[in-house]
Amino acid sequence: MQSNTTPGAPPPSCASHPASTLKNPSPNSSWLRTNGFLIGLFIAVILAFIVPGPGSRHGILQPELLNNVGIALILFLQGLSLAVEKIKSGAANWRLHLIIQGYTFVIFPLVGLLFHFIVPMIWTTEPAAIKDGFLYLCVLPSTISTSVVLTAVARGNTAGALFNAALSNIAGVILTPVLVHLLMQRSGVAADTSTPFGPLLLKITLLTLLPFAVGMLIRPRIKGFVDANKAWVTRISNAVILFIVYTAFCDSVEQDIWHRYGPLLTVQTIAVVIALFTLISLLVHLSSRALKLNREDHIAAYFCSVKKTLAMGVPLAMLIFGDRADLSLILLPIMFYHPLQLFVNGLLANRWAKAGL
């Protein structure tokens, strides 16, 4: 679950607060709140390189157990936070649904498969895990919170964005592992050869879809409390994600994977992430114009189609790719894609809000 803070967006109004509480936050504190999760990701990775033992497989933190508990907790909180009562108003716009879900689960994966075969021709030293990571990035669902917030900031179809972002996350619990399995078979590799796909899908369902559904069922009874404490729900989810990222990098450090490739691997991965983001952005814009979407739908289609969720991506990767020591390399593309999409889309949202699309 990503933070609802939008890069460049105006801060919430303080008009409703008593005069005694009106304090202008310092630029430093505002910057920390906006970028706290990204800073946390950086710290988690650095910590893994400095102290890998506790978070590695069979370490004292017991990541095999805690990660499974954390995955279920994240999905439970996702379901608990999903305002189903606000989704219905966006359900009838079939053209918007077609383009968003089509890009999320059809066009994006096909582009990922294309990159899987093209990139090795110009980048011959990349490990197989990075190629797996790009395929995995391309089959992830959209974000919920930031897709809706960015659409709202840009004055787009917020109800349509909420409906489609929620739909892609619910469908993604099943479709993402299925697409990973199909695409990796197509490309000649396997996600986790130690686990048959049927039992793997059952495990994913039990640890993701079940807690997600339980959260949705409980929400009507405590939605007032949940909505009043959204910040804490986000903090808990982010803390679990940071723990999973830390343990993933601990294993790769223990296996000495990073020494094999050096810093050039990071630079090359960032370059391919930028190319992928740029291509998808252009395709979404062209498709929206070809389908003659109005301005509001065009904005919602763009933000929901180009964004990929780190919140669901990290826990699902733990389940799909099993005990692979190179899991950190698989996560690298989504970890770079996440801040890029926030930065670029935050700028676009504010620009479109001021000037129109």
Q: If DSSP states are collapsed to H, E and C, what string results for 57-73?
A: CCCCCCHHHHHHHHHHH
| Amino acid identity at 321 | F
How sure is the predictor about 186, in pLDDT bands with cuts at 50, 70 and 90?
low
DSSP state of 187: T
**Do 173 and 205 form a contact (C-beta atoms < 8 A)?**
yes
Highest average pLDDT, of 15-29, 173-187, 332-346, comes from: 332-346
By the 8 A CB rule, do 324 and 349 touch?
no
Distance CA 7, CA 3 (A): 11
Quote the longest CA-to-CA distance of the chain.
Answer: 64
Please classify residue 285 by burial: count the beta carbons closer than 10 Å to its beta carbon, then call 0-12 exposed, 13-18 middle and 19+ buried.
Answer: middle
Per-residue pLDDT at 190 exceeds 80: no
Please, are residues 239 and 306 in contact by the beta-carbon 8 Å criterion?
no
Closest CA to 106 of 280, 228, 229, 225: 280
Return the number of other C-beta atoms located less than 10 Å from residue 20's C-beta.
6
Which residue carries 């801040």 as its tokens?
339
Q: pLDDT tens digits for 203-255?
A: 888 888 888 889 989 998 998 898 898 888 888 988 988 898 898 888 778 87
CATH annotation of 54-355: 1.20.1530.20
| CA distance linking residue 267 with residue 273, whole number of Å | 10
- pLDDT digit string (tens) for 156-180? 998 899 889 889 988 888 899 889 8
Helix axes 310-320, 230-254, angle to 10 degrees: 40
Q: What is the pLDDT of residue 13?
A: 38
3-state secondary structure of 263: coil
pLDDT mean over 308-333:
86
Cβ contact 301:284 at 8 Å: yes
pLDDT in tens, 30-61: 666 667 888 888 899 999 989 988 888 778 88
DSSP string, 2-42: --SPPTTPPPPP-TTS-GGG--PPPHHHHHHHHHHHHHHHH
Residue of 180, 141, 201, 194 whose CA lies nearest to 2? 141
The distance from CA 44 to its chain's CA centroid, rounded to whole angstroms, is 17
Structure pTM? 0.78
